[in-house]
Amino acid sequence: MPHEAISVFDMFKIGVGPSSSHTLGPWRAAQRFTASLEKKHGLSRLLSVKVLLYGSLAKTGKGHGTDIAIQLGLAGEDPVTFEIGRIDSYVQEIRAHKKLTIKKQKEIDFDPSTDIVFLYSETLPYHPNAMTFLATFRGSRRGEQDDYSQQGGQGKQGQLAETWYSIGGGFVKKEGEESAGGSAVQLPFPIDTNADLLHWCRKTGMSISEVVMENEGAWRPEKETRDGVLNIWRVMQECIYRGCHSEGILPGGLYVKRRAAALNKKLIGNRTYDDFDTWVAAIRAGGHDFKYILDWVSCFALAVNEENASFGRVVTAPTNGAAGVIPAVLQYYSIFCDGLREDKILQFILTASEIGSIFKKGATISAAMGGCQAEIGVSSAMAAAALTECVGGSQRQAMMAAEIAMEHHLGLTCDPIGGLVQIPCIERNTMGAIKAITASQLALQSTPDFAKVSLDAVVSTMWNTARDMNSKYKETSDGGLAVQIPLGLSEC
């Protein structure tokens, strides 16, 4: 089996909520399709574009904003930089005028209600998150072989059809492509399994994060990696802070009330602050009582995923649905464990990324393939390992922490009410964060020599569980809480 090289910036992507597989992935697929269209046929002769959504993308796409993401991707907007406050007005204008400008260059007739088709009863075999883009254009360039051509009333027309899969965490793969990762890159320490990682750590004496940093050098200079990782942390911090100061009702029709801001006010009390740094100081001033810290960890996780549910800017970690776990644990570490130092932030995120890549290669990080164990479970394992290394645990203790965290997420279903990344997704991030901290503590107080279950064993078990799991518990909203709770009811 060929080695798949995955960078820290593949596992951690800056994007827009509410879902990495249903929002960010389709957005990226739409961008790549239009790039392919322009390269093969140009845009000047483009007549129309139609999009077909299959499987989980169809069943929960409306709640996840899949149709919105595809329109923005076709238009050539970038999820990293697009001003999130413009999303509503942007798509409303397309809907009202029934016009879409492809890649900011070619305006075509486009009605989202008819040109984005939700095929609720159809699923493609490779992956549940599938979409097909169909572009029709006038004529063909000399010597050009169209994928499909027909003789019509307006002369010869051609059509380009591409099927794309959103395979979790914002990764996308075109039908026929060998890999969605950066496998062409040759790493000094190739890693596909936990055994590989342990081998390199033992051989070199390096920590997990040091091995990862060496591998990242195959893509870019170390300074670029450092700057990029710190920028990831900056976006996470901004998301936490914004979520802790935003009130109101989440969009989508469930009328879920945002809770992070109220909890923040309650925990801060009468202490004052002006910005993020003074807010952190105010939090620290509250002491180290167990319940107080526990409440803050929950508050951080709630804040991120309420932002995610509101089409806010978040970091896939490794997915959007699980985006609150790692920021919450890292914020806990930075505030209550004196980890607010650049080298420690770097160490945490690099370690987490490697654990996430092992799960992606050996199992899945897509809830549509593996249920929520593939999202909250993986993010909890990533955070547990990262926290363990940062507080002084050995490489094997970090791996043990990841195993413990996942072991107690095995079989976790994905059953979002109304197809929205709100109930139970938001609260699950608080659970994943707390489990990560607990798993780290257990590993730090344990001797890995006596562990009965390895990380590779739990990865394999997770994948077997995913394959055995009924499809109604895999992000389809066909089972579990999704069919037990009436729409319009919010969490308590």
Can you read off the two tokens belonging to residue 224? Answer: 């670029």
| Residue 149 confidence (pLDDT) | 45
Return the H-helix or E-strand segment holding 369.
helix 367-370
Question: Residue 268: what pLDDT?
Answer: 98
Domain containing 87 equals 19-174
CA-CA distance, 112 to 96, in Å (whole number)?
Answer: 10
Per-residue confidence (pLDDT) for residue 490, from 0 to 100: 45
Please report the pLDDT score of residue 387 as a whole number. Answer: 98
**Shared domain check, 395 and 361:** yes
Provide the pLDDT confidence category of residue 294 given band limits of 50, 70 and 90.
very high
Least confidently predicted of 137-146, 217-226, 294-303, 442-451: 137-146
Tell whether the model's pLDDT for residue 3 goes beyond 80: no
Q: What is the pLDDT of residue 206?
A: 98
The answer as to whether 1 is a domain residue is: no
Name the H helices within 42-115.
55-59, 61-64, 66-74, 87-97, 112-115
| Residues 375-401: tens digit of each pLDDT | 999 999 999 999 999 999 999 999 999
What is the pLDDT, as a whole number, of residue 152? Answer: 43
pTM metric for this prediction: 0.90
* Same domain as 202, residue 170: no
State what percent of residues in the chain have pLDDT above 90: 86
The predicted pLDDT at position 338 comes to: 80
The residues, any chain, with a CB within 8 Å of residue 125's CB and separated by 6 or more, are: none
Q: Which two tokens stand for residue 111?
A: 């009605």
Let me know if residue 138 belongs to a domain: yes
Task: Note whether 376 and 278 are same-domain residues.
Answer: yes
Residues 138, 474: Cα–Cα separation, whole Å: 41
237-268 pLDDT, tens digit per residue, is 999 999 999 999 999 989 999 999 999 999 99
Is residue 288 a part of any domain in this protein? yes
Q: What is the DSSP letter of 61?
A: H
Q: Could you tell me if residue 185 is inside a domain?
A: no
- Is 489 a member of any domain? no
Structural domain contains residue 306: yes
Residues 169 and 199 reside in one and the same domain:
no
| 301 located within any domain | yes
Total domains in the chain come to 2
Map residue 230 onto helix, strand or coil. helix
Rounded Cα distance between 99 and 95, Å, is 8
Local structure of 69: helix, strand or coil: helix
Statement to judge: residues 320 and 438 lie in one domain: yes
Write 82-88 long-range contacts (CB < 8 A, 24+). Answer: 82/16, 84/16, 84/311, 84/312, 84/313, 87/16, 87/311
> Looking at the structure, do residues 318 and 459 belong to the same domain, yes or no?
yes
Do 214 and 94 share a structural domain?
no
Strand partners, 172: 166
What percent of the chain is modeled with pLDDT above 70? 94
Q: What confidence tens digit (pLDDT) does each residue in 324-372 have?
A: 999 999 999 999 998 789 999 999 999 999 999 999 999 999 999 999 9
203 shares a domain with 167: no
Residues 121 and 158 in one domain: yes
3-state secondary structure of 111: coil
The contacts of residue 233 (CB under 8 Å, 6+ apart) are 330, 345, 349
User: Could you tell me if residue 321 is inside a domain?
Assistant: yes
C-alpha dihedral sign at 332, 335, 340, 343 = negative
